[in-house]
Each structure stands twice: as C-alpha cells, then as structure tokens.
Chains A and B, each alone.
Chain A
Amino acid sequence: MSTTKAKPEKNGTVKPSNVSSVLTRAFTSNSQWPDKDEFLDVIYWGRQVLGLVLGLVWGFIPLKGFVGLFLFGVINAAVIYFYASSFQGIDEEEFGGMWELTKEGFVTSFAGFLVMWIILYSGLHYD
C-alpha cells in the first residue's frame, strides 16, 4: 500500500505536473513506485504503444495468419514481464501477482494492435 497521504484513485489520468516525474521513473531502472496505480498506468500506456507499434510492423511486413496473433501475444507478455521484473525490479506480489500485470490493458492493446494491423495490411497490400 502507498505510504503517501490518501489520494483519489485515478486509473489512467496523471496530473500534468506528475507526468514528467512518472515518465522519468518509467525510463529509469529500479525506480520507486510508492503509488501502485502510477506503475500500473505506465504498464497500461506502454502496452498501448507497444500494440500500435507491433500492428504497424506486422502491417508493413506483412505478417499473416495465426503466427501474427501468436507473436503479438508472446512479445506483448514477454516485454511487460521483463520490463516489470528485470528493468524495474518490482515485487510482483505487491501488485497481486504477475497475472495482474500481464492482463493490465491487454484487451485494449490487442484491439489497437488489430486495428493498426488490419488498416495497414489492407491499405498497403490490397488497394
């Protein structure tokens, strides 16, 4: 639990003054995350960006079929796992286990990935 004074839970919205601090910590290894929600937000938004980037790459290549979907799932889960456990070195139990981190924003990221993949694939290779 957070040891700082009680703050309203925001789930996604970080105060503008906090954004730079959160971003700095997100890119610095072994940062301190007194507010668990901030770290989960970093995971959430990181995952959205990752989904869009993978969709872009898959669309350009173009990757097709089940392989594309499977690779997305594996890379998405692996990147978040290594980011959380190796780069940030967080104690996953504090966040309710690795499963909680693995599923944070996964569906939204998957939908974003599919949209990007489908749009680029049809636009570049079927127009």
Chain B
Amino acid sequence: MWADTLFIVVISICTALFGEGLTWLLVYRTEKYQKLKAEVERQCKRLEKKKEVHGDTTDRQQKRKIEREEERLKNSNRDLSLVKMKSMFAIGFAFTALLSMFNSIFDGRVVAKLPFIPISWLQGLSHRNLLGDDYTDCSFIFLYILCTMSIRQNIQKLLGFAPSRAANKHSTNLFGPQPQQLSGYK
C-alpha cells in the first residue's frame, strides 16, 4: 500500500504545481489581472479603513459612501473572476482528462485502509468503484481529494498566490475567493 499512497501524494503535488503553473501562465502574469488585483487590494484597504472609522456611524452620507465603496469592490471582484475564467476552463479540461486516466489506473483498487468509517454521505467517494462492504477500504479519488485539499492550499500560500485575507473577506462571488499573486504590488 505504501507505493500506491505515496504515488497518489506525488500525483497531487504534481497536479497542484501544474494547476498553479497554468494559472500563472494564463492569468497571474497578465497585466490586466495584476492591475485588477492591485485595484481590489486598494479598495479592500480603503473600505476596511472607512468601516473602522465610520463603522457605527448613523450618518447617512457616510453609510452611502461605504455602500458605494462596497459596490465598487464587488464589481472589481467580479471582473477579477472573469479574468480567471479562462484558466479555470483550461484547468478544468486538463484535470478531467488526468483524473479519468488515473481513475482507470486505480479502478477497483483499494489504495489505503481508513482508520475510521466515513459518514454515510462520504462513503460514495471513499468506496467509489470498490467491491465489498468494508467501508474502511479507501478509493483513489478520496485520498486524492484529501491530498489536494492540503497540498494545493499550502503550495498557493508558499508561492504567494493565495488570496489575501482582506480580499477574501469581501469576495462574495460564486466561485469563492480568487487566488491572487500578491507580492510586489501596492
């Protein structure tokens, strides 16, 4: 089992790096993205500051100003996610192809033993394409998802592509927070 589990960890490291590399190539390095990202950062900071100073104010004018800032920030966030769409589609296609390839390699194979029995709505994943009723058997996809959850986020943070906390707080688009390349921009 060592071989399978370690192979899956390596796969998820490689796919995370590949995904970030592709996003860098298609998005992070483009001028448009960098401008938008800097804009969002600036607006976030301005809004935070305003909220801090006038947060509890009953002054209508200030409230309206804050609302206008929020609206502007929402628009910038939306533009940012539109810029990211291109790479999301590319990554989506690449990952679907890769996953189906790995799925067929590991089809019906128990790659690991779980030290616990997953809750019923997770068993569909953890026991996917496996025979038998032993729910401590772990399928490829379950371990791969866990690895990706931990590795991808850490790689994004290490490379500085993770979204800033301030932007995260204000981003409310459908796709969740957008990873941003943050070093070197004010």
What residues of chain A have their CB less than 8 Å away from a CB belonging to chain B? 1, 6-13, 37, 40, 44, 48, 51, 58-59, 62-66, 68-69, 107-109, 111-112, 114-115, 117-119, 121-123, 125-127
Contact = CB atoms under 8 A, between A and B. Distances in A.
A114 B165 CA distance: 25
Contact of B182 (A1, A11, A112): A11
Given A64-B115, A118-B115, A127 B1 contact: yes
Contact of A112 (B6, B113, B150, B159): B150
A11 B147 contact: no
Contacts of A51: 150
A9 B138 contact: no
B158 to A, nearest CB: 7
B131 interface: no
Interface of B: 1-2, 5-6, 9, 41, 45, 48-49, 52, 112-117, 138, 143, 146-147, 149-150, 153-154, 156-160, 162-168, 182-186
Given A8-B183, A10-B183, A115-B147, A127 B2 contact: yes
9 contacts: A1-B52, A8-B186, A65-B116, A108-B150, A112-B150, A118-B113, A122-B114, A122-B138, A125-B113
Interface residue SS majority, chain B: helix
Given A114-B146, A127-B1, A10 B6 contact: no
Contacts of B116: 64-66, 68-69
B83 to A, nearest CB: 19
Given A40-B165, A48-B154, A115-B147, A9 B160 contact: no
Contacts of B9: 115, 119
B186 A13 contact: no
A115 B13 CA distance: 13
Residue among B112, B113, B115, B164 facing the most chain A CB atoms (10 A cut-off): B115
Contacts of B113: 118, 121-122, 125-126
A108 B159 contact: no
Contacts of A111: 146-147, 149-150
B160 A10 contact: yes
B112 A108 contact: no
Nearest to A37: B165
A104 B23 CA distance: 25
Given A64-B116, A122-B1, A11 B150 contact: no
B5 A11 contact: no
